Amino acid sequence: MALKANPIWGYAKTPHFHVGLPDLGPRPCGFALDFRGLNKWECSCVGVLAQTPQRAITPVEDEKPSHDMESSGAIQRPFDMESTGFHKDMNLLPKPLSSTELSSSSCDGSKVRVAYQGIPGAYSESAARKAYPKCETVPCEQFEAAFKAVELWLVEKAVLPIENSVGGSINRNYDLLLRHRLHIVGEVQLVVNHCLLGLPGVRKEELKRVLSHPQALAQCEMTLSMLGIARVNADDTAGAAQLVSASGERDTGAVASAEAAKIYGLDILAEKIQDDDDNITRFLILAREPIIAGTDRPYKTSIVFTLEEGPGMLFKALAVFALRDINLTKIESRPQRKRPLRVVDDSNKGSAKYFDYLFYIDFEASMAEGRAQHALGHLQEFAGFLRVLGCYPMDTIS
């Protein structure tokens, strides 16, 4: 029997059902879970070796790595920064990685290299610097390019948004979490303060249109309506500031960060123009290897799973956490791509069709705790597929 190091949590449902799984006594935490013979886990923990026979992992369509990068929906930026003579230093800014330009690069190891989606001045860059104050940030054109940058060893980490307190979940990144084999090793909560930006010397009353990301525009709806400004969608907030700076159009502004104003030579015409002062975006920190969970501070665990068809299955799945006094902080459902429907012939009148969903859950507990291990052992009774995306320290607003 060979020793095998398993970098990913995974679980494949076998065709049997247990009425209940009693909580076992405390066990040393190495993530090598047994659950009294239920040896269906593949565990992710650095340096943990498990003696396991060859196992089949239930395939989920979204989990399969994608070899073809999707085309970018970014707004074209036809401006020649050198010829315009406007803020020429922008030529010195790091160029975003495109999904087709990912190639090997050297890293002297003196700094942590962190990928983010967008260009310099983006809120994602601010989140990366909050997590790693001395890091070297690497801009990427797309979310998937940031995932690829970590996988190809171009960077050590990626910081990507997953939800906003006003705009809700970033569904694209939930789908990419399953498609790629990265691990969540941390989270960052960033207070978002939108600013109205314009060319130097312009007053806000002169603006006729404003560019920004659709979510940023929606979060500033009341202020922009009072000013009577037309909204134009852009690929991201910092990109909108760059466009305004390069175009030289005095009647065009942008909604972006104060940092973007500094980078692209714009004036801040108004600060904190968002409708809701409690505008917070939560970012995930992704890495190639998981961290070893502890109990020295509050931890959060993120999982994804599917459920077998039947009445009350979701209730039973959630109950395994309530029974152990584990608080759920997030639940999100996403359809299984390429397999959105299941057909069940449960009557004489024909077949019924049901949507097939993946469930993403965050809960407040460390995988070093017995209650978290027992909860997931209990959950496997109802799950057709189960994967731990990461166990990481919780972040607080500061």
Q: Which of 283, 305, 359, 363 is the catalytic position? A: 283
Of 339, 378, 377, 344, nearest to 357 by C-alpha is 339
The two structure tokens encoding residue 185: 């090793």
Amino acid in the structure at residue 368 = A
Strands 168-169 and 209-212: unpaired
CA distances from 70 to 121, 145, 213, 333, 349 (A): 24, 10, 20, 23, 42
Extract the tokens encoding 232: 């134009």
Answer yes or no: 281 catalytic. Answer: yes
Residue 283 annotated among the catalytic residues of the structure: yes
For 126-186, the DSSP string reads: HHHHHH-TT-EEEEESSHHHHHHHHHTTS-SEEEEEEEETTTEE-HHHHHHHHHS--EEEE
Let me know: does 365 contact 326? Beta carbons within 8 Å. Answer: yes
281, 301, 306, 363: the catalytic one is 281
Active-site amino acid positions: 281, 283
